[in-house]
Amino acid sequence: MQTLTVELADRSYPIYIGEGLLTQKELLCKHISGHQVLVITNKTIAPLYLDVLRDHLSDYHYSELVLPDGEQYKTLEVVATIYDKLMEDKHNRTTTLIALGGGVVGDMTGFAAASYQRGVNFIQIPTTLLSQVDSSVGGKTGVNHPLGKNMIGAFHQPQCVIADIDCLKSLPPRELSAGLAEVIKYGLISDVEFYHWLDRNMDELMEMNSGLLEEAVYRSCVNKASVVASDERESGIRAILNLGHTFGHAIETSQGYGNWLHGEAVSVGMVLAATLSERLGWIKASEVVAVQGILSRASLPTEPPPMTCKEFISLMVVDKKVLDGRLRLVLLKNIGEAIVTSDVNEVDVCSTLAALGVTE
């Protein structure tokens, strides 16, 4: 097991990464301060791991809630069912919410924890690669609005994160790939060495080599934790974590939540960001090809769905990364070095989209 601390002063917390962690009762229980717990999971994950948790938590005032599975259920209405459960079972301010599942469960549980009685404790047990490397680090919680992704939410840090690599064995191949999109992102934005390590090991990662997966999760979390520690509220540098995301959110919104996985949309978004970076003269054409290559080897899409340029732009303008109407994008100065820029005009964006087959 590897342990990493996300340094956020009095909100610092540990991330445990390793095999067989779900079977370790004490690892979980030492982070529960009160007598009440609510485990929140979904219909897919419940049959796999809920029994183990229920056994660990038999000494507590215990509740559980099984949500429907899928990004399309990441809504305020579903969070309201969490409040209902907490109220019905008389949970008070000392309760601990435990998120057992992927990013959707984690984001909604975190938002419920941020807002129930103005804030209670929560613990993340991410069961997908994407949630282990992304949504469980950094305290972003929230739900989607019909007109935009993650538009409603809060910053709320967990007590700890338990990332059990064994959980990845039950992951459908498409979700493994979606997680690898974010893993590759960390290499691209801030860790060129990690990028080359991934390039060398991608085939074995795709074959679910546990040791390599643990290392990939650990290095991803180290990269994310370092960025988050220096800018918890995303007033500056944290925005680089959104490489590919402004394009990606536009794809997700246009295609309907749940039809494209988040990581798949981000994969295409990163290809677009790399292409635009090359257009601005920052990286080489061969590097764009290499980025497309590593994403393809992770079985990720590298071409946008049938959308018009107009549709892209209008969806990108409502993205949270936009400040006072000005499009802000994360681009690559180099492989391993991302920057945030507002100096991109719509013409360049459209030309980039056109180069990847997007019509006006």
Residues binding its own copies (CB under 8 A) = 34-36, 76, 80, 83-84, 87-88, 90, 92-94, 111, 114-119, 140, 142, 145-148, 151-155, 233, 317-318, 320, 322-325
Specify the residue, 59 or 84, whose C-beta has the smaller distance to its own copies. 84
Contact status, residue 91 vs residue 36, Cβ threshold 8 Å: yes
**Whether 245 is catalytic:** yes
Specify the residue, 102 or 142, whose C-beta has the smaller distance to its own copies. 142
Catalytic residue among 121, 242, 264, 328: 242
Q: How far is the CB of 39 from its own copies (least distance, A)?
A: 19
> Going by DSSP bridges, is the β-strand pair 140-145/121-126 parallel, antiparallel, or unpaired?
unpaired
Q: How far is the CB of 229 from its own copies (least distance, A)?
A: 18
Q: How far is the CB of 79 from its own copies (least distance, A)?
A: 8
Catalytic residue among 249, 252, 278, 328: 249
**Whether 234 is catalytic:** yes
Specify the residue, 290 or 317, whose C-beta has the smaller distance to its own copies. 317
Single-letter amino acid code for the residue at 44 = T
Contact status, residue 97 vs residue 159, Cβ threshold 8 Å: no
**Whether 19 is catalytic:** no
Q: How far is the CB of 17 from its own copies (least distance, A)?
A: 26
Specify the residue, 167 or 250, whose C-beta has the smaller distance to its own copies. 250
Catalytic residue among 7, 19, 234, 287: 234
Look at the alpha carbons of 196, 216, 338, 130 in this order and tell me if their dihedral is positive or negative: positive
**Whether 196 is catalytic:** no
The three-class DSSP label of residue 176 is helix
Look at the alpha carbons of 280, 341, 142, 315 in this order and tell me if their dihedral is positive or negative: negative
**Whether 242 is catalytic:** yes
Contact status, residue 244 vs residue 273, Cβ threshold 8 Å: yes
Q: How far is the CB of 188 from its own copies (least distance, A)?
A: 25
Catalytic residue among 118, 200, 207, 345: 118
Q: How far is the CB of 57 from its own copies (least distance, A)?
A: 16
The full 3-state SS of 7-43, as one line of letters, equals: CCHHHCEEEEEECCHHHCHHHHHCCCCCCEEEEEEEC
Q: How far is the CB of 159 from its own copies (least distance, A)?
A: 16
Specify the residue, 118 or 200, whose C-beta has the smaller distance to its own copies. 118
The Cα 80–Cα 172 span in angstroms is 29
**Whether 35 is catalytic:** no
The Cα 301–Cα 292 span in angstroms is 9
Contact status, residue 360 vs residue 308, Cβ threshold 8 Å: yes
How many residues are there in the chain?
360
Catalytic residue among 31, 56, 74, 140: 140
The Cα 311–Cα 305 span in angstroms is 12
Specify the residue, 25 or 321, whose C-beta has the smaller distance to its own copies. 321
- Give the largest Cα separation in the chain, rounded: 61
DSSP class per residue in 186-220 = HHHHH-HHHHHHHHHHHHHHHTT-HHHHHHHHHHH
Specify the residue, 145 or 196, whose C-beta has the smaller distance to its own copies. 145
Active site residues: 118, 140, 182, 224, 234, 238, 242, 245, 249, 262
